[in-house]
Structure 1
Amino acid sequence: MTNYKTFTNVYDKLKPVDEAAVQKLWEEVYPTFQHKMVVLDDDPTGVQTVHGVSVYTDWSEETIERGFQEDSPIFFILTNSRAFTASETEQVHRDIAERVARVAQKHDQPYLIISRGDSTLRGHYPLETEVLKEASDQRIDGEVILPFFKEGGRLTIDNTHYVQDGDNLVPAGETEFAKDRTFGYQSSHLGEWVEEKTKGQFAKEDVTYISLETIRDLDIDTIEQQLLETSDFGKVVVNAIEEADVRVFSIGLIKAMNQGKNFLFRTAAAFTKVIGNISSRPLLTRDELIEENLQNGGLVVVGSHVQKTTQQLEALKTLSNLNFIELDVHLVLDKEAFQQEVARVKAEAEEQVASGVTTVIYTKRERLDLGENKKEEELKLSVEISDAVTSIVRDFQVRPNYLIAKGGITSSDVGTNGLRVKRATVAGQIAPGIPVWKTGNESTFPHIPYVIFPGNVGAVDTLKDVVVLLEDK
């Protein structure tokens, strides 16, 4: 067995966070920060730390202007680019960067763009931030890489990114996420990961590292100086195991930006909460979410194929009061048979939900594998499968009491193409790292609580616990 670091051992060796001192520094520095923050989310799970902010599902210039006109300093644009081909991703990010620049100039508003990516390092990197840099109207001095996300157990220590498993810290490159067929990687050390992903364009020796020791010493001057010395789109890796570590870094960042430095950001969800100055709030209750309390059942859609999702689905199946329907997605290779399968699943789900029984639709657990060198073909088939799943929600003839979608890409497609959301408000989290949208008037089901459940978040029983909470009438 690999001899992993343990969280307890790492934590005990570090100087504790001086929360009062950090808060005092924050209150002095943050009011000097006047940028509008535009978060490009490659799936809808990026709002898993925030509340009271808007999420837009299109990126027209009019929509971006609406975001700039909001009182909130931060808004999200759901690109869902993890489901895109490389060429689609490039076009979308170029369009957004150019439109943001025009709107910001029109309103004479300083801004920054955050590319919110997966906390386990999957996604179109470095493509997305490279395109944003090329299309920017600003000189971009550096790129901040900050995948820390405590609620999901993603910690960066000694420049290496870990996925927490109990007390053990598993290097990200040794997890199932690193074996992703589309976005796989080998390196856990983030400098080596940058070198791997950029094919040597940025060497690990040239990366700037913000250490936990510097952060815990509250050495803001050193952090600021490291950032002031960053140029030519140099990479900045930030170590963090607590939200306060991100706040300390952000104090140095704001001071450097106030001196004219510009950065792009490739981060997980923790950074958006901190830099957006969004307060913590308790987990959402059933009474806060379900206002109409229909006699209909809820609807749960499970698409993610990571091991954690499958384990959570099996735990959910222990609830005897739910109805479970498997969608055989392998039939996608036979269009007529697949259409019949989708119609069968939809009809059964409608009947059950209308009778008050919460229904779980889940895709066949065996991933469709076309063989080697078929990534683009598999991605296109996955889009067809997702279109079919979302059509069930879009055309559903019964309003569910609530809706849960499991998996990042699944929840994005269900939200945009199934629920047809144009703008949603993030109500908060129903469990750590699991956000809830309240849909807008334009939605298929207006004001329904929509639970966005990432594929790789939570314990084995978390999905079951969320359903039990929502079922407790």
Structure 2
Amino acid sequence: MTSKPKIIVLDDDPTGSQTVHSCLLLTQWDVDTLRLGLQDESPIFFILTNTRALTPQQATDVTREVCHNLQQAIEAEQITDFLVVSRSDSTLRGHYPVETNVIAEEVGPFDAHFLVPAFFEGGRITRDSIHYLIVDGTPTPVHQTEFAKDSVFGYHHSYLPDYVEEKTQGNIPASQVERFLLADIRQGCLERLLQLSNNQCGVVDGEKQEDLNQFAADILNAASQGKRFLFRSAASILTALAALPPQPIAAEDMSEYVREGKPGAVIVGSHVKKTTEQLQCLLQEPGVVGIEVDVVHLLEDSQAQREALLDETLNRVHHVHAAGKTPVVYTSRQELQFPDIATRLKFGSAVSALLMDIVRGLPADIGFLISKGGITSNDVLSTGLALTSARLLGQILAGCSMVRTPADHPQFANLPVVLFPGNVGDAEGLATVYRRLSQTAG
């Protein structure tokens, strides 16, 4: 083993790999599959738990199962040096502290766990322990954005110590949270890191990638001296910890991966405002045809209506593909109201299941696939394409990963798949990715 620790990422949707490349994304977590990740040459690998789409109890159970198997895999591979990252949303939505608590119980103890939500590619920075989204060039405290009003993961604080106190229901008071400010990070904080113990909670600033690179260097130094750390973070700290060279093929040239230069398909599940703007821009592009799926019909829970909706959608998809164009399948955009969270999550599962049936029914010779939305992307990999693992090729746009299916995939061999999070990129983002992949499409 080298002295560099293996970075093990439990990702609550499949978009946390959005700043790295050439590593494995695992959609299953049996011991043998986890050993593949630990054996892989890349310093980092991702386990796609998709827990953000689950209830707190389901998220607890899945995380515990992953960690239980991970402990066995680590022992089997005799790995002593590792960091664990609970990768979640840069807008602070997710099951915190549920997941970090379970990880600490199963693969701890840890000397500290750090909240590092900065995600520079997506315009999220942390300054003076306050987390901001940059909206139209202006830093906006995250509690003032639509994300803080999320019906499942809402919160009231952008000041991270207060966020920790709120989410832990006072178990970790704000006054006990260690703050790593920009000034601390830039002058080096190794000495402080070496003194942390008993799973101390810390919150970490970051205005630019260099800040987290500096912090990561100190973390790795402390880890090499025996300190054990857990992270609850967005993607940018992963870039710093993995310290990878540039990706093999530049973002602008990724059409090289398109199969036979053929037109592709786009699946849009996310319905956040940014996705809707991006969808509208994409539908203006030459060579694309929009196909709306009216998901309101799924509220009636009628199998016959669902089958009719699926057949009609797939007929249109195949017709568009036969004409040499790219079908863009998207869910109807209106925000539906639900009596409770469980009903909302159940409806979301029904929508996703329909979309995955559409993925399975796509023409076998599509050139590429773009999946828009975090939960949608996870389901595309694990359910629609039924992958155990996929190799990450790199980023086709800041924050947008491209993976490729294995050569022995029974239906879509060597298919490039773009994992495009719901709330990443400017209004032209989706159109830009489409244009990059369609350079050679006839």
Report TM bin, short chain: over 0.9
Question: Aligned to 2:197, which of 231, 234, 237?
Answer: 231
Alpha carbons 1:284, 1:429 under 8 Å: kept: no
Counterpart for residue 346 of structure 1: 314
Contact 1:33 1:254 in 2 (8 A): no
Alignment of 1:196-345 (within 5 A): 196-216=166-186, 219-220=187-188, 223-281=189-247, 282-294=250-262, 297-334=263-300, 335=302, 336-345=304-313
Structure 1 residues 428-456: Cα deviation after superposition (integer angstroms, max 9, x where no partner):
11111111011112363111110111110
Gaps of 5+ in 1: 1-30
Q: Does 1:402 align with 2:373?
A: no
Deviates more, 1:337-346 or 1:250-259: 250-259
Q: Kindly tell me: are residues 36 and 169 of structure 1, through their superposed partners in 2, closer, same or farther at Cα, counting changes over 3 Å?
A: same
- TM-score, length basis structure 2: 0.95
Greater displacement, 316-325 / 160-169: 316-325
Q: Distance in 2 between matches of 1:121 and 1:198?
A: 14
Unaligned runs of at least 5 residues, structure 2: none
Answer whether contact 1:327 1:363 (CA < 8 A) is retained.
Answer: yes
Which residue number in structure 2 is paired with residue 116 of structure 1? Answer: 87
Equivalent residue, structure 2, for 1:432: 398
Moved over 6 A (4+): none
1:390-445 Cα deviation digits (max 9, x unpaired): 11111324421111011000111112111222211111111111110111123631
How big is each residue's C-alpha offset from its partner over 1:263-313, in whole Å with a ceiling of 9 and x where there is no partner? 21111111112111212344241443214223xx31111111111001111
| Match of residue 463, structure 1, among 430, 435, 438 | 430
Q: Who is 1:367 aligned against?
A: 335
- Secondary structure of the structure 1 residue equivalent to 2:260: coil
Does residue 449 of the first structure (1) align with residue 416 of the second (2)? yes
Identity of aligned residues (%): 38
Name which of 34, 37, 52 aligns with 2:4.
Answer: 34
Distance in 1, Cα, partners of 2:420 & 2:410:
19
Structure 1 residue 350 displacement after superposition: 1.5
Query: When the two structures are superposed, what TM-score results if normalisation uses the length of structure 1?
Result: 0.88
How far apart are the structure 2 equivalents of 1:259 and 1:286? 41
Q: Which residue of 2 aligns with 1:15?
A: none
How many residue pairs match? The answer is 434
Whole-angstrom CA distance in 1 between matches of 2:438 and 2:256:
14
Write the mapping of 1:39-78 to structure 2, written as runs, cut at 5 A: 39-78=9-48
Contact 1:210 1:237 in 2 (8 A): yes
Distance apart, 1:384 and its partner CA: 1.2
Structure 2 CA distance, aligned partners of 1:397 and 1:316? 21
Secondary structure at the residue paired with 2:96?
Answer: coil
Q: Match of 2:342? A: 376
Query: Any idea what SS the aligned residue of 2:383 has?
Result: helix
Deviates more, 1:106-115 or 1:407-416: 106-115
Per-residue deviation, residues 39-76 of structure 1 (Å, max 9, x unmatched): 11111111111111111110000101111111222111
Name the SS of the counterpart of 1:52 in structure 2. Answer: coil
CA distance in 2, matches of 1:429, 1:39: 18
Distance 1:180 1:280 in 2: 36
Determine the C-alpha separation between the residues in 1 that align with 2:2 and 2:305.
60
TM-fit CA distance, 1:339:
2.4
What aligned pairs does 1:7-26 form with structure 2 within 5 A after superposition? none
Q: In angstroms, what is the RMSD of aligned CA positions?
A: 1.6
Q: How does 1:168-187 map to 2 (within 5 A)?
A: 168-187=138-157
* Pair 66,190 (structure 1): closer, same or farther in 2 beyond 3 Å: same
- Match for 1:84 among 54, 57, 62? 54
